[in-house]
Amino acid sequence: MHGYEPGSVVPTTELVLAHEHPDDRPHLQELLDHALHSKGSFSSRHRFVDTAGGIHDAIVLADRMSEETGAVVGTEGYYIDLTDTFDEARQAFLDEALPDLLEARAVIEQAKGVLMVVYQVNAEQAFGLLRWRSQQTNTKLRALARQLVAEVPTLPAAPADRQSVFDHLLLTLHERVPADSDTQVGGPG
């Protein structure tokens, strides 16, 4: 777990502390001192650094080691490396939540775009309008945005003269793209 081949080192308190994450080292030293001078076992959650520099989250379950005379000579314990568990849980959360977050963000951006065109406002003002309606109606902003986007197709078509102006705008956009813009076909910019 710490990166050593089995049997290549003798585990000592000094070695354990040397691998302890610097921020957790004082706490572990206190636990070890307490265990050596009290009559109880202990557990601790902390981080350690392996020989390759990787940081591991771990739980240690430990007890005192005593001679036959009862004299305490050290501690012995068991490490449970939680690093993979944390990484898997974090990835599972992201895998589950990210698509919903991206979808929610996309519909909010679409609704902002509609408001920007209709009211001739900037993105911040459009978002402020959505937020205001959300608060005033006690409706989730995402739900309002989704409903707005769903209802836009029900609006009457733009007057022919306005649509003609927009047609010209769309068909001549390339003529007004600054020379220093990303000119990759289909790319951003």
Which residues lie below 8 Å from residue 86, measured CB to CB, with a gap of 6+?
57
Tens digit of pLDDT per residue, the chain (189 long)?
677 788 888 877 788 778 888 888 888 788 777 777 777 777 788 888 888 988 888 888 888 778 888 787 777 778 788 887 777 777 887 778 777 777 878 999 999 999 999 899 999 999 999 999 999 999 999 999 999 999 999 988 888 888 888 788 888 888 888 887 765 555 444
The domains of the chain are located at: 13-81, 87-154
Q: Report domain 87-154's class.
A: mainly alpha
The conformation of residue 156, written as its DSSP 8-state character, comes to P
Q: What are the phi and psi torsion angles at 161 (to 5°)?
A: -65, -35
Q: Report the CATH architecture of 13-81.
A: 2-Layer Sandwich (3.30)
Residue pair 2/19 in contact (Cβ under 8 Å)? The answer is: yes
> Pick from 142, 113, 112: which is nearest to 129 by CA?
112
Residue 46 in contact with residue 23, Cβ under 8 Å? no
